[in-house]
Structure 1
């Protein structure tokens, strides 16, 4: 059995990289709920264990929120992947969505940008007015200490940083997948012609993508005084929502 609720195992090139990795693991036969539950347990146990070992309980709410959003992203990927493979549409759509692995490229770029900001830009500019704050439609407080110091102290323990970066990569990968899914959905409605029986189901999947984007707003309270991160997060959510909503509108207009 796969993580995709006992579906037939997808051929490689017809699945997310995440699905392919899980499916390639020796002895992996987890249902979707079991795979997501295992992910939550492993990450959350790590968060709580390190909070206890290093007295970093103040970081637990942010860590738990990140683990929760990553788990929602795993559900989104498995659900979207499984449902997409059941729908009748041109092969070009599946090559773009699954075979191109563009979501990995987007995730790598997002992760590198995030790490650079956390460990270089944020410490160098903390306490100073941020140009990003002027682009937000609301007032943002200015943090006085770097985010990493706020969460983990001035000398973060190495295991804690390792786990934090692992969870952040998990988030970046799922966020990259969400953005690429929105772009491919819009391409599908502009250039391809899904059958009438599949349009409603595609619209539901586009709405699911919007739901995952909105779920990421659970992280906003922890970056509310970080204008650059807040702008990036809100901009991503708005972009995914706008592109997916446009795809839904075009689908409705085509009926």
Structure 2
């Protein structure tokens, strides 16, 4: 990431981390802190409420979200360092559409967990993980982690869509074309990393289809971007 990126040209995640007064922990420090805070909270609540079966799922979700943070930082750094058109850059960063997509995904997930799943499943996912009466603080932490994950997934969607739009709208210099291909392939890597969540969704067909469909869609669009990038 650039040392002093303009906050109109950063992800919301980067803007929050970079704007914290008196704190300059760098990329690695921010990601390490993200993992540490969530994982310590998960293990502490697991020990207090004896929910060890849920601890593994929580840890995997935290690691997937952290990998999304790494990917976001790399993609942001690469795009800002190359000569993409101003409209491409503004659409990707300045619109904050990734937040809108994340909100839509998160609301859909919450609706599924608390309304659809209890109606349609004999044993809802939350019951499987946390028992009949989930502790409030555990549910709060779970939703916080899921939001973190949804935000990264929303960003992945947006990068894929803007990438394909850009390659269909512009011609690029060789270095810029190479960068856009790298960003697209990295986005595919993050989508594939999300398959680590699948083992916990085998009894949840709706969520399984949602995650699988997302991975396939991002992969197809990103590969199309690589294939259609013109010099």
Is residue 101 of structure 1 aligned with residue 96 of structure 2? yes
2:168 and 2:25 mapped to 1: Cα distance?
37
Aligned residues: 231
Partner of 2:82: 87
CA distance in structure 2 between the aligned counterparts of 1:54 and 1:95, rounded to whole angstroms? 46
Number of the residue aligned with 1:176: 154
Instruction: Find the counterpart in structure 2 of residue 75 from structure 1.
Output: 70
Residue 193 (1) aligns with residue 188 (2)? no
For the 8 Å contact 1:69–1:216, the answer to whether it is kept is yes
- Taking the aligned partners of 2:185 and 2:124, their CA distance within structure 1 comes to 36
Q: Return the offset for 1:109.
A: 0.3
Could you give the per-residue CA deviations for residues 32-56 of structure 1, whole angstroms, max 9, x where no partner exists? 1111111111100011000000011
1:53 aligned residue: 48
TM-score, structure 2 normalization: 0.98
Q: Extract unaligned runs of 5+ from structure 2.
A: none
Superposition deviation, residue 30 in structure 1: 1.4
- The structure that is helix-richer by fraction is 2
Tell me the secondary structure at the aligned position of residue 10 of structure 1. Answer: coil
Q: Is the 8 A contact 1:89 1:195 kept in 2?
A: no
8 Å CA contact retained: 1:93, 1:188: yes
- The answer to whether 1:202 aligns with 2:197 is no
Identify the residue that residue 137 of structure 1 maps to in structure 2. none
For residues 151-162 of structure 1, the aligned pairs below 5 Å read 151-162=129-140
Verify the 8 A CA contact 2:51 2:130 in the aligned structure 1: yes
Q: How much has 1:73 moved relative to structure 2?
A: 0.4
Report the counterpart of residue 11 of structure 1 in structure 2.
Answer: 6
Confirm or deny that 1:220 pairs with 2:215: no
Once residues 40 and 140 of structure 2 are traced to their aligned partners in structure 1, the CA distance between those partners, rounded to angstroms, is 14
Match of 2:38 among 43, 53, 72: 43
Shift of 1:173: 0.3
Matched, 1:165 2:146: no
Contact in 2 for aligned 1:47/1:60 (Cα 8 Å): yes
TM-score, normalised relative to structure 1: 0.89
Q: Unpaired runs of 5+ in structure 1?
A: 127-143
- CA-atom RMSD, angstroms? 0.9
